[in-house]
Amino acid sequence: MSVRSLNKVMLIGNLTRDPELRYTPNGVAVCTFGMATNRSWTTEAGERKEDAEFHRIVAWSKLAELCSQLLTKGKKVFVEGRLQTRSWQGQDGNQRQTTEIVIEDMIILDSRRALEGGEAGTQETRPPVQQMSQPPAPAQTSQVSTASETDAAVKPKPESTPEVAATPNESVDVSDIPF
């Protein structure tokens, strides 16, 4: 008789450092980054308290490459994965242990404006993300999206609505588009 179990972690927090991308000897991408989650509560005396937890996040394969390209320190993200504990012997001979979150999904929660321009007056420079020529194999698919991509998706309205019908001579300037 098998007993069911569950190892699932879902976090929303901010990156504490830029992602670090490396490759295994077999050529598999692995990306690590730190993430902080906060909680606040009020004591019985009415005093407001805050606490932060720090997590080590690990992504593999295509998700690792995407995290490396899209994430930077300070970004707010949602990650979903599982807890994993590893042990090793340090250079000093002592046994070491760490618990990390191996993620399977990641969603960027920062607004599109924050992704494009950062704070007011600062312009973040970022290399363009290359589009994949072919979709990944189904077994390697990782769900990665940004909240701004969902917000920016525009579904065409039916042509029967007269208020959106454009005249053939009308031109649209790209700078007029609000997104």
Most confident listed range (108-112, 143-147, 165-169):
108-112
The CA dihedral of 6, 10, 16, 19, to the nearest 10 degrees, is 80
- Taking the C-alpha atoms of residue 110 and residue 17, their distance in angstroms, rounded to an integer, is 16
Averaged pLDDT for residues 57-64: 95
User: What sign has the CA pseudo-torsion 41, 43, 47, 53?
Assistant: negative
156 pLDDT more than 70: no
Please report how many Cα atoms fall inside a 13 Å half-sphere around the Cα of residue 67, on the Cβ side.
Answer: 35
- pLDDT of 177 reads 57
| 100 compared with 169, residue with greater pLDDT | 100
Tell me the DSSP string of 87-138.
Answer: EEE-TTS-EEEEEEEEEEEEEE-S-HHHHHH-STT-----PPPPPPSSPPPG
Please report how many Cα atoms fall inside a 13 Å half-sphere around the Cα of residue 110, on the Cβ side.
Answer: 17
- Taking the C-alpha atoms of residue 64 and residue 41, their distance in angstroms, rounded to an integer, is 34
Averaged pLDDT for residues 57-69: 95
* Domain boundaries defined on the chain: 9-174
**What is the dotted CATH code of the domain comprising 9-174?**
2.40.50.140
- Give the predicted TM-score (pTM) of the model: 0.60
Closest CA to 85 of 142, 21, 9: 9
Averaged pLDDT for residues 89-117: 85
101 pLDDT more than 60: yes
